[in-house]
Structure 1
Amino acid sequence: MTYLFKATAGAVALFLGVLSAPAQATSVNWGDEGGLNAFTTATINFTGFEADTLVNVTSQGYFATNNGALYPVDFELEVLLDGLWTSIYSDTTTGTSYINNIPTLAFAYGTITGLRATGTGHAPSTTPMGNWALGPNFTPTVFHFDALNPPAAVPVPAGLPLLLGALGALGIAVRQRRRA
């Protein structure tokens, strides 16, 4: 019975450790994930991670108009959050806006498995965006995410280890009684 109690207590401790493991900061490199350079809409998908904040963006990438104020560009950045595309940033420019100027953005906590960027409103018959991530002499665009406010771990009631121990002892007693 002592062995059963120790095994049960060890399993509970392991379970609690998994529940309280902190989320890790994760970076997504647009170019390394296959993101396009000049596009109207481009999407990258990757292995998921949990986050609730786009901490910052490092790059020399930008979105810009082709003909100034005549054709402003609307830019939108979305994350694939728990299977749904969720807008986390949008901006309109009549000139050039650099991606690394995107501020820290908070959103609902969840699993992110993709990024989508859209630039619309450009002049007809022109390349919609330029040097977004992969152009020559440009630093790749890297999105840095973190889980700054993960949901609180659900506390385990103090009596749970006692309940598990009692159930284990009851199981042993039933097994011994059947043998007798």
Structure 2
Amino acid sequence: MAALMVMVAMVVTTAMMVEGQGSEGLPPMDFCQCVKMDPGHKYHMKWKPRDNDIVFEVQVATRGWVGLGFSPSGGMQGADIVLGWVDEGGQPILHDRYSRSYAVPTMDESQDVTLLGGYENDTHTVLRFSRPWTTSDTENDMQLTTSTIPVIWAYQNEDPTSLTEMRKHDHDGARRLNLKNPRC
């Protein structure tokens, strides 16, 4: 009976975290939109548009790296990518990157994302960050507007071994979304 109660508590805790009703170490935030990016419902993306920027939170069923990007074509080539993970010491790591090909995204010289927090538990990696709608980096950043755009996502079950070496994603995909005018 005790084992059953522990299993039920674990399921309820995981469900609360995925639905955003409980966040370890992250302050509550009223997100306007939440979408399940993949058919298996393992990659959840929430966002809240603000006047000058947009806040994202990704909740992904992995203990490895996670990526979220904005793409002119719906693929990696030419994409503006945010890549992050939680290191062995529990410290969230987040980088603004870009991709010119189907390879490890290059670190952008202009880091136009702000890490707001993150954590990893037994089942998920959660990262919250903000990004301006318009950046001064017109070469490597996609300027976000009221248009519907392809939002790409990916994740891997292992953390990177270094800033430039990481295993290829296990899972990836894309969805067309309107980020600036969700139904709030």
Normalised by the length of structure 1, the TM-score is 0.30
Larger radius of gyration between Structure 1 and Structure 2: 1
Higher helix share: 1
Q: Which has the higher contact order (CA 8 A, sep 6+)?
A: 1
Normalised by the length of structure 2, the TM-score is 0.30
